[in-house]
Amino acid sequence: EWVKEWLAGRRSEEYGGSYFDHVKGWWQLARHHPDRIRIVYFEDMKADFASEAAAVAKFLGKPLSSEALEKVCQACSFNNMKGRHHVDDSIKGRVNPAHFRQGEVGTWRAVLSEDQARKVDQALHHHLHKELSEGLRLREA
């Protein structure tokens, strides 16, 4: 079962370890280097992508004109991103080849059973309890 393998970190080895290790590492780096690393949440991008993109550009010291921001928004649309995504056959067994699914918040509810969702939720709170207490957000939609 894919969820069981993901929880054990076996579906993200190509990315350097488990999802939890990935989040912890970036969270710690962002806390130690807030001027160099900005945490961006998918839910925030879905709510107002243009504002999030503009904030990231400003964070990078590269504010965007309205024309440039429009181009970024078009280039980063879900359909454009999904159309460019490709997982090489050699790693399809180790990563999720369908990484881009629907591009909407909360669609996991139609994919995971109640039991799977409960296990993921428990694992998130178990592995990321320190980061959550420091301000990491888990968003529900």
Instruction: Say if CB 22 and CB 28 are below 8 A apart.
Output: no
Helix (H), strand (E) at residue 35: none
Question: Looking at the chain, how many residues does it have?
Answer: 141
Instruction: Say if CB 40 and CB 52 are below 8 A apart.
Output: yes
Give per-residue pLDDT as tens, 36-80. Answer: 999 999 899 889 999 999 999 999 999 999 999 999 999 988 777
Distance between CA 96 and CA 2 in Å, rounded?
A: 9
| pTM for this model (two decimals) | 0.74
Instruction: Say if CB 95 and CB 2 are below 8 A apart.
Output: no
Give the pair of three-digit tokens for residue 43: 């839910």
Give per-residue pLDDT as tens, 107-123. Answer: 677 778 889 888 988 99
Contacts of 122 (CB under 8 A, 6+ apart): none
